[in-house]
Homo-oligomer: A and B are copies of this chain.
Amino acid sequence: MATAATSPQRPSGPSPEGPLARFREYLGRNNLRLTPERRAVLEVILSREGHFDAEELLRFLRRRRRVSRATLYRTLDHLREAGLVKVHRFGRGQALYEHVYGRQHHDHMVCNRCGGVTEFVNEEIERLQEEVCRRVGFHSTSHVMEIYGVCRSCSEQEAASASSDLHRGEPRPR
């Protein structure tokens, strides 16, 4: 997990040795302080895999230390600025977070049925994106790509229930 990755979209500054060092560096650079609350938020986020919302984070957080909602949101914003977490707003609904330290950049496929999120990586797409930016003089700092649709297991399930519905006149369950 805590691999010393050399991510290409590291925001700025010299290369620290870990996520905490990186956070410290960001805080110092901006005249901010490392409090127990901020530390706890970072640790809990690093311990989580995949995507989580603020509420979920708060639940896990409180097992180790009480942190207010306000502080959580404030800290998440700092972590985002520090390049340690990434924010997504898949479809409607609330923001989802994921930590990106020591993780390769990846994109997402979101299933409209079950809400499941699958990650994928495609170097060629990444390369083409950079090329597009270069062409128009756009200085890219990050990007998101989300493919929406129906995942394999949901479409198999749908196919099964559709065939058993053949005697009824329903085109789509909704």
Contacts and interface: CB of A to CB of B under 8 A. Distances in A.
Nearest to A133: B147
A149 interface: yes
A141 B29 CA distance: 44
Interface in A120-140: 120, 122, 124-125, 128-129, 132-133, 136-140
Copies in the complex: 2
Interface residues of A, number: 36
Interface of A: 29, 87, 89, 92, 95, 109, 111-112, 118, 120, 122, 124-125, 128-129, 132-133, 136-152, 155, 171
Q: Which 6 A-B pairs have the closest CB atoms?
A: A137-B152, A140-B149, A143-B147, A145-B145, A141-B149, A89-B89
